[in-house]
Structures are given as structure tokens and as C-alpha cells.
Amino acid sequence: MSAPTTNQKLLDWVAEVAEMTTPDNIVWCDGSKEEYDRLMVQMCESGMAIKLNEEKRPNSFAFNSDPSDVARVENRTYIASLKEEDAGPTNNWIDPVALKETMKGLYKGCMKGRTMYVIPFSMGPIGSPIAKNSIELTDSPYVVVNMHIMARVSTDVLRLIEKEDTFIPCLHSVGAPLAEGQADSRWPCAPIEDKYIAHFPEENLIWSYGSGYGGNALLGKKCLALRIASAMAGREGWMAEHMLILRFTNPEGKQFHIAAAFPSACGKTNLAMLQSTVPGWKVETIGDDIAWMKPGADGRLYAINPEAGFFGVAPGTSEGSNPMALASIEENAIFTNVVVTEDKDVWWEDMGYDCPGGGGIDWKNNPWKQADGEKGAHPNSRFTAPAAQCPVICDAWEDPAGVPIDIFVFGGKRTNTMPLVHEAFDFEQGVYMGATASSEPTAAALDLGNVSLRFDPFAMTPFIGYHAGDYMQHWFDMGETLGDKAPRCFYVNWFRKTDDGKWLWPGFGENSRVLKWMCDRVEGKVEARETPIGLMPIDGDLTLDGLDIPAEDWAELMKVDNGLFKATLEDAKAYLAKFGDKLPAKMTEQMAKLEARLNA
Ligand code: GTP
Ligand code: SPV
Ligand code: MN
């Protein structure tokens, strides 16, 4: 196939990579339905994909990964800045020259026996001033079809690259060359010690090797839209955050835009599509994972969702918890590491009903019976679906101008200590709350080991493309830029448990009650009571009508235990110590103020 572009930079790069990786063929992708269908047919024939029941799940497919390749690999992820100190204490670092040497060794001949796909894609609406044009080179057809859904894949991007003579290069290989006549495996990938997810922030360059999974391989997502974009945003005065974006509209039609940062597998997709239980209030989805935000001409902060689809956690997704996600995956969806039932539909744990037929093929590609008690879907199994299929997608979701953010929400999974909701006294304390957000570990990252609590600033620890201390300072700087137009900051915790392990808060749709309280605060409709950690609801303002929450459970959800918070503050101090003189003075100031309030 002759190359469908005249851009010399792009042609040279493709030629250079092809020379290094020696694919059998090169295919330039155009993002068309014909291309998608053709690749799916090929993958079904090769045994990599399973076509699902056309009646039950039209145009949908299931994949099972290699059991070793089921999530992001944070200990194989690198920020290879020129200077080590610029990667900071939260990132792995290798000298970029040395890392490139190592990776070139791995890339040499790595696409032998495979096709190299050239994927032109845009993160953000094509041609929008905030969007980024990019090319992913990959030898994974699974990556191509997922990129079709998650990003905007189009030859229009080639035209923009020709005009602007610039693009963000993303190189990906599964790292499994095929010898002459060698049969391919169902899910080719490299052993863990050969996997590298590498970022060269000064060059806006991404090199990924050895994994075919999600955030390791769909390079527009975590690698570009968060790690590289956060480094660009830090330099250029905007923000790239691990945040959902939603619009919450009250009965009078007043709109509030909320951006919320929760760590992986802590409820962003669920909150983004929430079905409000507060009469007359409704939620519309703008994004479920990533927000790019810039101050607008009116001085407010405007957010866009750079993605085009959802790559959501399957287990726990049910008619009860997230009906809008279920509706989004009725057709044209891809499923990875779920159960394929006997009648070729999909199932996962906590889907709201037992597996039809009692079993099927599990995520490890083996025959499986629910009655045997083993999990059928991997806890980090995922669906990929076009955002446009979400019944509550907001009409502004592709507006290149974005939506003005009124409220930031931070949070994580804490079964103890953190109350249901509290509000920051001001933006600077809000930054402190976001910067010291903490969570108990989840299944979305493979390798966090046996830790009980992980500090996860702004849910961005695995995604900050530069020094996390500089990143915190950037948040304070944005506060100064925005002044009194800065969003109001809140901290939530949906995950408190009783001593015998039951949820204290019903969560999901009922979280709308908490969002409404936030909006009432923004509008000045309700007062709040001061506690050492921030402002909290006055009894009655956060309505519990119709909920069956015993008074002692509510008291527990609203409790601020000074002793527990002093312990968390000590943990935060220990965590922040590793930032050394890069820790913003404002963080130290906030800690001193919090300590004083807790001791008062
Ligand atoms: P990533 O895609 O990894 O970034 O995850 P996410 O933040 O989008 O998480 P998601 O919304 O997929 O939720 C992950 C898990 O949290 C699922 O098992 C949900 O059922 C569960 N969850 C979400 N919201 C709530 C809630 O309000 N209460 C409780 N108890 N669980 C929740
Ligand atoms: C996350 O882990 O935050 C995800 C899934 O959204 S992945 O795309 O694999 O990063
Ligand atoms: Mn995520």
C-alpha cells in the first residue's frame, strides 16, 4: 500500500520504525467501518476474538488476554526525562539514551511475521485548538479496533499533520515476533521483565513494548492524554487530569459542571453516568476518565474529554449500579477478560444475575462453571464502547470549547477514617486535599504489592509525567490564575464499611444526594459546619429521605475522629517527605494549619 500522506516527518518515522521492527506488511489505517469489520473477521479467524451472539449483542466481540497481561504495569512504566530529578520520586526513571538503547534492542525485528498498522488519531475533537494529533504504530490489531472506539481515528488527522507538520509519535509492539511458519498465540505479549511503557517528555514521544493491554497499549489514553499531556500542561499552563466530567442540572434548569478525580477502579465511570435519585436533578456524561482543562476568556476553567469511548471496569456493572453503562455496551462493544456464556453473550461477577446457563468460557479461556466458586471474569476485565452510545451523553460532550467547571471532587477508597463528604475552606486547602488523597489498592494496576494505604495525589500518581512536587505547585499556580473563579473543592468517600464489612453508604445513584449538597453550597443555599478537616453538611441539608440508614451509621459516615486524622496526617508527612525541597511551601503551610485545627 502506498502511504496516504505527503508529510515527510511522518514518512521518515514510519520508514525508520519499519526498518527497525521489520514487519511483513504496513497498513495505513483510516478509521473506517470497513477497516474495523475486516480486522474483526481476521481476529475471529485467528482465534484471538470471539464474535458474540448477533441477536443479543450486535457487532460485539470478546477477547481474553494472556493471564499475565491483564492491567497496567506500573513497575515497568518509565518517565525518561533528560534529568532524573525531573521525573521525581513517584516515577520510575531510566536515562533516556540508555533506555532507548535497551528498547531498540527489543524492537529489533520485533514485528517479524506481523503487520504494522499506522493509526492516525486525534485526542479531542479533530481540529479543535485543544486537541492533539498523533500517530500510533502498532503490530496489534486488537489495539487498532480499540483505538477506533477510544480515540478519533481518521485520515483527516493526516491532513492536519501535513498542515501543521507536527504530531505526537507513539510506538507500540506486543513484543512477540513470529519465526517463519510459527503459529501465533491467542494473545501475544512479552514476559514482564521485557515490558517497557516508556515516555520521553521533552520529546513528546512514547515507546511501549511487550503488553497488549489497555493503558499499556492504547497509547492515546494514559500515555498521551495523561503522562505526556500533564508534562505539556505543566509547561504551558493548563491541566491534564484523571477526572470524569459530568453535567448536573437542577429542576430550574441550572447547570453545574463537576470534574472528579478518583483512582483507577474507584468509581469514575459510575459517577459519570449516575442516575440521580434526587427528584428533578439529572446527570449527563461528558467524560469518564480524563479531563483536559484550560482557563477560558472569561477566566473560568473549561474542560474537554479528549477520549471518544469508555474503557470501563466490567465487574460490578449491573442494572442496579450503572444502567447507563449497560445501555452503552448493548452493541458495537469490545469485551476483554469477561465470561463468554454458552449462547455467546457476556457475563461478569456482580452483573445482577447468575451466569445464564450456569457457566461458559472464563477470562483464562477455559470452560468454567459459576457453581465452582472461582471468578469467571478478571477483576480488571473491561468493556470498550463508543461514548456516543451512552443514553445520557451530554450534548456538549464534543464541544471543542469545553464546559466551565464549577466543582472539583477528590476521593478514593477508604473503608475507615474519611467521612462521606467534606468541603475545603478555600482552593488552597482543596489542593492539599487532592494532593493527599489516599486509597486502598485496587485491581487496575498489577503490581502494588501488599500495601494497605496508598497516597495518590489527584488520583494521578501513575500518570504524572514530571516531578509530582512541581505538579502540586502547578495546581496552586492554577488556583492563583483562576482566583475567585476557581472551582470549589470537595472530598468524598463512598466506600466506608462497618466493622463487619458492610457498606455504610448505599453509593451509586444515591451519590447524587451528595452532589446536590455540593451544588447547594456553590449557590449559597445551605450553610455548613466547620470541622478540623473542612466544612461538612448540617444535619438535614443532605437529604436522606427514603433511605434506610440507621442513625448510628449516619453518625459514623459524618464522624471526624481527630485521632485517626492525626495518624493520617503523620502518614501524609512521611509520604511528602520524599518530595524534599520540591514540596510546595503551600503544602507545608496547609499541613501546619490542619495540625493546629486537629489539636485545637
Ligand atoms: P478506571 O476505569 O480504572 O479508572 O476506574 P473507575 O474510577 O472508572 O471505576 P468504576 O466506576 O469502574 O468503579 C470501579 C468499582 O467501584 C466497581 O466495582 C463499582 O461497582 C465500584 N463502585 C463505583 N461506585 C461505587 C459506589 O458509589 N459505592 C460502592 N460501594 N462501589 C462503587
Ligand atoms: C485505569 O487503570 O485508570 C484505567 C484503565 O482507566 S487503563 O486504560 O488500563 O489505564
Ligand atoms: Mn482510569
The CA distances from residue 31 to 136, 139, 144, 224, 465, in Å, are 13, 16, 9, 19, 29
What pLDDT shows up at residue 451?
Answer: 57
What pLDDT shows up at residue 441?
Answer: 73
Three-state SS at 546: coil
Q: How many helices (H) and strands (E) would you count in the chain?
A: 15, 31
SS (H, E, C) 213-256: CHHHHCCHHHHHHHHHHHHHHHHHCCEEECCEEEEEECCCCCEE
Phi (first) and psi of residue 412, to 5 degrees: -175, -175
Residue 382, marked binder: yes
- The three cell numbers locating residue 499: 466493622
Mean pLDDT value of segment 505-511? 97
- CA–centroid distance, 459 to ligand 1, in Å, is 13
Residue 450, marked binder: no
Segment 304-316, tens digit of pLDDT: 999 999 999 999 9
- CA–centroid distance, 444 to ligand 2, in Å, is 6
What pLDDT shows up at residue 1?
Answer: 64
What pLDDT shows up at residue 579?
Answer: 97
- CA–centroid distance, 346 to ligand 2, in Å, is 21
Pocket of ligand 1 contains residue 508 by CB under 6 Å:
yes
Closest CA to 221 of 77, 361, 58: 77
Pocket of ligand 2 contains residue 72 by CB under 6 Å:
yes
- CA–centroid distance, 392 to ligand 1, in Å, is 18
What pLDDT shows up at residue 261?
Answer: 98
Atom of ligand 2 at shortest distance to CA of 242?
A: 3
Three-state SS at 339: strand
Q: DSSP letters along 259-295, please? A: EEE--TTSSHHHHHT----STT-EEEEEESS-EEEEE
Atom of ligand 1 at shortest distance to CA of 312?
A: 2
CA 172 to chain centre: 19
Residue 335, marked binder: no
Atom of ligand 2 at shortest distance to CA of 289?
A: 6
Mutate to test the pocket of ligand 1, among 313, 381, 382, 502 (most ligand atoms within 8 A of CB): 313
- The three cell numbers locating residue 196: 517497557
Query: Where does the pLDDT of residue 444 fall: very low under 50, low under 70, confident under 90, or very high at 90 and above?
Result: low
pLDDT of 442 strictly over 70: no
- CA–centroid distance, 56 to ligand 3, in Å, is 28
Closest CA to 523 of 286, 245, 252, 244: 252
Atom of ligand 1 at shortest distance to CA of 242?
A: 4
The set of catalytic residues is 266
Pocket of ligand 1 contains residue 507 by CB under 6 Å:
yes
- The three cell numbers locating residue 478: 492554577
Whether the Cβ atoms of residue 325 and residue 312 lie closer than 8 Å to each other:
yes
Residue 268, marked binder: yes
- CA–centroid distance, 446 to ligand 3, in Å, is 14
Q: What is the predicted ipTM? A: 0.99
Mean pLDDT value of segment 520-549? 97
Least confident of 85-94, 121-130, 443-452, 558-567: 443-452
Least confident of 303-317, 356-370, 408-422, 432-446: 432-446
Mutate to test the pocket of ligand 2, among 218, 226, 269, 311 (most ligand atoms within 8 A of CB): 311
| Protein residue closest via CA to atom 20 of ligand 1 | 316
What pLDDT shows up at residue 443?
Answer: 59
Pocket of ligand 2 contains residue 444 by CB under 6 Å:
yes
Residue 248, marked binder: no
Return the number of other C-beta atoms located less than 10 Å from residue 501's C-beta: 7
Residue 64, marked binder: no
| Protein residue closest via CA to atom 7 of ligand 2 | 215
Mean pLDDT value of segment 130-150? 98
- The three cell numbers locating residue 365: 479461556
Closest CA to 140 of 27, 289, 307: 27
For the chain, list the domains and their CATH numbers: 8-48+76-236 (3.40.449.10), 241-307+396-599 (3.90.228.20), 310-389 (2.170.8.10)
CB burial of residue 599 (10 Å; 0-12, 13-18, 19+)? exposed
Average pLDDT of every residue of the chain: 96
What pLDDT shows up at residue 214?
Answer: 97
Atom of ligand 1 at shortest distance to CA of 313?
A: 12
- CA–centroid distance, 71 to ligand 2, in Å, is 8
Mean pLDDT value of segment 222-229? 98
Pocket of ligand 2 contains residue 311 by CB under 6 Å:
yes
| Protein residue closest via CA to atom 5 of ligand 2 | 215
Residue 267, marked binder: yes
Instruction: Mark out the alpha helices in 125-243 (DSSP H runs).
Output: 141-150, 155-164, 214-217, 229-236
Query: Where does the pLDDT of residue 513 fall: very low under 50, low under 70, confident under 90, or very high at 90 and above?
Result: very high
Return the number of other C-beta atoms located less than 10 Å from residue 59's C-beta: 14
Pocket of ligand 2 contains residue 222 by CB under 6 Å:
yes
The CA distances from residue 253 to 167, 247, 250, 282, 460, in Å, are 41, 11, 5, 10, 33
What pLDDT shows up at residue 445?
Answer: 56
Q: DSSP letters along 341-365, please? A: ETTS-EE-TTSSSPPGGGEEE-TTS
Helix (H) / strand (E) element for 28: namely strand 25-28
Q: What percent of the chain has pLDDT over 90?
A: 96
Partners of 293 in beta bridges: 239, 303
| Protein residue closest via CA to atom 24 of ligand 1 | 267
Whether the Cβ atoms of residue 42 and residue 141 lie closer than 8 Å to each other:
yes
